[in-house]
Structure 1
Amino acid sequence: MKVVIDEEKCVAAGQCVAAAAEVFDQRDEDGIVVLLNANPPAELADDVRQAAAVCPALAIRIEE
């Protein structure tokens, strides 16, 4: 699994961090998503998929 984010689409809602804090964070200055791990381990796959699903801006893409 590879995670790709589009910072331009991000609206700083923080849903990704709530779903998968091990993979996503937010910048302090504006709340835009920060990708902590572009290739998360298999045990985090469900959380990452959930994060992508709840992103209101569809800023997270998953490549299997």
Structure 2
Amino acid sequence: MHIDIEEDACIGAGQCVLAAPVVFGQREDDGIVFLLAPDAPASERANVEEAANRCPARAIRVNGG
């Protein structure tokens, strides 16, 4: 699966980290999301999709399998 993050759109709400803590992290200085696992395993797909759905800024996109 391919995960795209639009850092400029991220507002640091942290919903992605709550939904998929294996895949997403937040920078300490401003809370902006970053990928902990750019090549997230297929077993994390449901969590990553949940993270994208929870994102209030719609800064996360999930593509592919």
Normalised-by-shorter TM-score class: over 0.9
Q: Which amino acid aligns with 1:25?
A: G
Aligned length: 64
CA distance in 2 between counterparts of 1:37 and 1:5 reads: 12
Question: Partner residue of 2:27?
Answer: 27
Q: Tell me, which stretches of 5 or more residues in structure 1 are unaligned?
A: none
| TM-score, normalization by structure 2 | 0.95
SS of the residue corresponding to residue 46 of structure 1 reads helix
In 2, the alpha carbon distance for the partners of 1:3 and 1:36 equals 11
Q: Which residue pairs with 2:62 in the alignment? A: 62
Residue 17, structure 1, aligned to residue 17, structure 2: yes
Query: Do the aligned residues in 2 keep the contact of 1:12 with 1:26 (CA within 8 Å)?
Result: yes
8 Å CA contact retained: 1:2, 1:62: yes
> Is the contact between residue 4 and residue 38 of structure 1 (CA under 8 Å) also seen in structure 2?
no
Q: Structure 2 stretches of 5 or more lacking a match?
A: none
